[in-house]
Structure 1
């Protein structure tokens, strides 16, 4: 994969939308994630900077713009630097 792209499930895990990468992949495959307004059921879908990811989680629906791809699953403050909140509320 190109350096300017990252797997959707990996990014969701790095950005702390899921506790494990397996759960991140399940969020995608179960249809709870949209990329640029289109539902994605492929955890390996490549996303890049500027893409809008919408996650319909159990307690909130969040729309975020991808600002960085990340290199690891770091602390919460580091994870928040990977995206800009566009709408929704953290629950």
Structure 2
């Protein structure tokens, strides 16, 4: 079983090991593209991470501000991975609740041009 420790680890391996990216190559590509910053500076995949560093990751239209508590050399399960960092980013905003799509009565056929315009007006289009 993989245990957290305090030894230096490559940044691409660490963001993959703590389950921020699905594959190691995806993690390395994100680091090369500048989506991962170490202590506020864009880095290369081989840059070393140690406990106490701050890692900023831009993923899925959201920025994660992570403080490294421990390092992992190999990918670990989610419960272990969560103990290796603290996410200082604010929680994501609540998702908008979409109004349900109105259903037409069965057998009424396709909407007419007038019906379609009325539906567009109600939807705010």
Whichever structure has more strand as a proportion of its residues is 1
Equivalent of 1:20 in 10, 20, 23: 23
Distance, in Å, in 1 between the alignment partners of 2:86 and 2:74 is 18
Equivalent residue, structure 2, for 1:4: 7
Distance, in Å, in 1 between the alignment partners of 2:22 and 2:41 is 24
Q: Secondary structure at the match of 1:56?
A: strand
Distance, in Å, in 2 between the alignment partners of 1:62 and 1:88 is 8
Equivalent residue, structure 2, for 1:47: 49
Distance 1:90 1:9, change over 3 A: farther
TM-score (norm. length: structure 2): 0.65
- The structure with the largest alpha-carbon Rg is 2
Equivalent residue, structure 2, for 1:65: 67
Q: Is the deviation greater in 20-29 or in 53-62? A: 53-62
Distance, in Å, in 1 between the alignment partners of 2:13 and 2:92 is 20
Q: Secondary structure at the match of 2:88?
A: strand
Q: Which runs of 5+ in 2 are unaligned?
A: 1-5, 94-125
Runs of 4+ in 1 over 3 A off after TM superposition: 88-91
2:13·2:74 contact (CA, 8 Å) conserved in 1?
A: no
Q: How many residues align?
A: 88
Q: Is the deviation greater in 71-80 or in 25-34? A: 71-80
